[in-house]
Structure 1
Amino acid sequence: MTPAEIRAARAAQPRARARDFAESHGIPEAALVAAFTGPEVVAIAADPRRLLPLARELGPALALTRNRSAVQEREGLYGPLSEEVGRLRLRGEGIEMLIDPRHWVHAFAVTEPTAKGAKRSVQVFDAAGEAVHKIHLVADSRSEAFDRLVAELRLAEQVDAVPFAAVAPGPAAGPADWRQMPADLFAARLAAEGQRAPDRLAELPEVRALRPEAMTELLERAATAAVPLEIRGGTTGCLQIFRGQVARILPAGYWINVMDPAYNLHLRTDHLAGVFLTDRAPEGALSVEAYDAAGSLILTVTGGAGWESVVATLSAA
């Protein structure tokens, strides 16, 4: 579709969610955003080393990271960046992320007029145009900091169509022992080798396969017992990490949702093709890993005091 065709189709479907609209029309989500480049959509530099320090100046904001099967939304403050092997780590107040800068390729500052006033966001996409991370301003965000971010990162060339390319698998690097690899790097390494992480996990006698219902069970049990959780989910370019207790667990069709004041998780239970209880050194004692039918990691959950009681009797496959 040309940018003009995208704009016309969007005018006919203004209420459709951006991701759903893009999928239904066979285009990357970034193509939809780019088609409206102009006063309200500004192409900006995507480099997280430049972008995220400016995001820190926004004050309170909402961090949103999703993959096809799970969405995490967390209100808090963006914090400083630190270098790790092959990645960046951001630690703020409530907002924590592990970032692979190679996948921060396209970015836009978006101002969307609504009946309640302007809705502002920063949206980052990978080379294929898939969303990597989004920053949404909230009521207490500093709008002048958003304006500074746009002014400092604005690209010289502002066009309504940008080139997209397939994302190549990352290098098959890392320790040989699966226990020493975080689940997301383990899945990425096997994918680069043409293998599926859940197939490998299913072969290991020390790994316990669980039924898909186990993800709902662990959220409900953790909420009832006030057990603190660590939930990791996102994409190769950005893994968003939540640490804390969850309280309000709500099912809605094939979704299971955490709907707390400063944290929301939306998980598609119909996408849970492989769920495993593992023991990985990077995540701690025990972790529950969820994979989709393609073998991609959806999310990983670990817990603090009381966690072993939560997972002890989860439904086995």
Structure 2
Amino acid sequence: MTPAEIRKARAANHRARARDFADSHGLAEAALVAAFTGKGVVAVEAGPERLLPPVRQLGESLALTRNASAVQEREGRYGPLAPPGEGWTLTGDGIELQIDPRHWVHAFAVTEETAKGAKRSIQVFDAAGEAVHKIHLTGTSDVAAFGRLIEELRLAKQSDDLPLVPAGPAAPSGSPADAGLTQLWDESPSPEALGPRLAAAGISPPDVLKELGAPRARPLRPVAMTELLERAAAGGVPLEIRGGNPGCLQIFRGRVERILPAGYWINVMDPGYNLHLRTDHLASVYLTDRGPAGGLTVEAYDAAGSLILAVTGEEGWDLVAHGLSAVP
């Protein structure tokens, strides 16, 4: 579709969520956003080292990071970037991110006029047009700082036709036994660190977890993710929830309280924090020994073997984790 065709189709279906609209029309979400460049959308510099420092001046805002199966939304304030080698970490007031800058390719400052007033956001996409991270202004954000960010980071070229690079094919499947899986496992401190190592060997994390077996990796039923949230809420158990995509991992630390099912979604709907998880995408769920100091982590993967969420916890967590529904 041309940018003009995208705008026309969007006008006829303006109520649909942006991602749903893009998917239904075979578009990358970034192409949908870019089609409105000059009409409330401004292309800005995408590199996190340039984009995120002025974001701190917005004050309170909402950080949103997603993959195809889970969305996290967290209100807070962005902190400074700490660059360890090839990646960055960001720890602010309530907002914690781990960033791979290689995936921060396209970025837009977006102003949408709605019946409730203007909605302002900064949206970052990878080379294929998949969303990496979004920053939404709230009712208390500094709108003037948003304007200054646009003027500081505006690209010289503003085009509604965005060049995109198709995502590469999935890695071929391999044999866990051929990859020194115990060494890979032991050298990878987190599920997010293990994934890229295995992809290079053509192996998916669930293959490794299945091969490792108990006691290091115990398979759970998909309903375990719902049980986990409900039991942690009922017991007031603090959680660490990690989820995102190759370009941005968002981390929540704290208690969850209001757990609401809605069709195939299970949702956390708390003040300042929302989580939306598609339970029908839970192809593999494991209880592993990869938590802090040898504790327990629940890892959830989709049918392609990609990590959806990893959850661990603090005081009372072991009782929650050991009570989850296991695969017979």
Assess same fold via TM > 0.5.
Answer: yes
- Does the 8 Å CA contact 2:258/2:270 hold for their aligned counterparts? yes
Q: Which residue in the other structure is 1:248 paired with?
A: 258
Are 2:291 and 2:297, in contact at CA under 8 Å, matched by a contact in 1?
no
Q: Residue 184 of structure 2 contacts residue 197 of structure 2 at CA under 8 Å; is this kept in 1?
A: no
Scaled by the length of structure 2, the TM-score of the pair is 0.93
Q: Does structure 2 conserve the Cα–Cα contact (< 8 Å) formed by 1:180 and 1:281?
A: no
Q: Deviations over 1:75-119 (max 9, x none)?
A: 000001102243100000000000000000000000001112110
CA distance 1:169–1:26, shift in 2 (3 Å) = closer
Tell me which amino acid in the other structure corresponds to 1:297: L
- Corresponding residue for 1:178? 185
C-alpha distance in 1 between matches for 2:47 and 2:169: 20
Partner AA of 2:200 in structure 1: A
Instruction: Quote the residue 1:54 is aligned against.
Output: 54
Shift of 1:169: 8.7
> Any unmatched runs of 5+ in structure 2?
172-178
Question: How many Å separate the matches in 2 of 1:120 and 1:18?
Answer: 14
Gaps in structure 1 of 5+ consecutive residues:
none
Secondary structure in 1 matching 2:212: coil
Whether the 8 Å contact between 1:179 and 1:279 is mirrored in structure 2 is: no
Q: Counterpart of 1:194? A: 202
Q: How does 1:125-204 map to 2 (within 5 A)?
A: 125-167=125-167, 176-181=183-188, 182-204=190-212
In structure 1, what is the equivalent of residue 123 of structure 2? 123
How far the C-alpha of 1:39 sits from its partner, in A, is 4.1
Matched length:
315
Structure 1 counterpart of 2:204, which letter? Answer: R
TM-score (structure 1 length as normaliser): 0.96
Q: CA deviation at 1:189?
A: 2.2
Letter matched to residue 260 of structure 2 = L
Cα distance in 1 for residues equivalent to 2:106 and 2:74: 22
Encode CA deviations 1:240-279: one digit per residue, 9 max, x unaligned.
Answer: 0000000000000000000000000000000000000111
Partner of 2:2 in structure 1?
A: 2
Give the superposition deviation at 1:191: 2.2
Any idea what the Cα deviations from partners look like across 1:127-148, whole Å, max 9, x if unmatched? 0000000000000000011001
Once residues 138 and 236 of structure 1 are traced to their aligned partners in structure 2, the CA distance between those partners, rounded to angstroms, is 26
Shift of 1:219: 0.4
Letter aligned with residue 178 of structure 1: W
The alpha carbon displacement at 1:168 in A equals 5.1
Question: 1:169, 1:188 within 8 Å by CA — same for their partners in 2?
Answer: no
Change (3 A) 1:167 1:133: same
Instruction: Choose the corresponding residue for 2:230, options 209, 214, 220.
Output: 220
The answer on whether the counterparts of 2:184 and 2:194 sit within 8 Å (CA) in structure 1 is: no
Partner Cα distance (2:144, 2:170) in 1? 38
Q: What is the identity, as a one-letter code, of the residue corresponding to 2:308?
A: I
Between the aligned partners of 2:89 and 2:187, the Cα distance in structure 1 is 19
1:71 Cα deviation from its structure 2 partner = 0.3
CA distance in 2, matches of 1:85, 1:272: 33
Between 1:176-185 and 1:203-212, the stretch displaced more is 176-185
Task: Work out the CA distance in 1 between the residues paired with 2:156 and 2:21.
Answer: 29
The answer to whether the 8 A contact 1:179-1:281 is kept is no
Q: More deviation in 98-107 or 182-191?
A: 182-191
**How many Å separate the matches in 2 of 1:170 and 1:236?**
14
Q: In the alignment, is residue 279 of structure 1 matched against residue 286 of structure 2?
A: no
Secondary structure of the residue that 2:140 maps to in structure 1?
Answer: coil
Match of 1:236 in 2: 246
The 1:264/1:107 distance shift into structure 2, 3 A limit, reads same
What does residue 322 of structure 2 align with?
Answer: 312
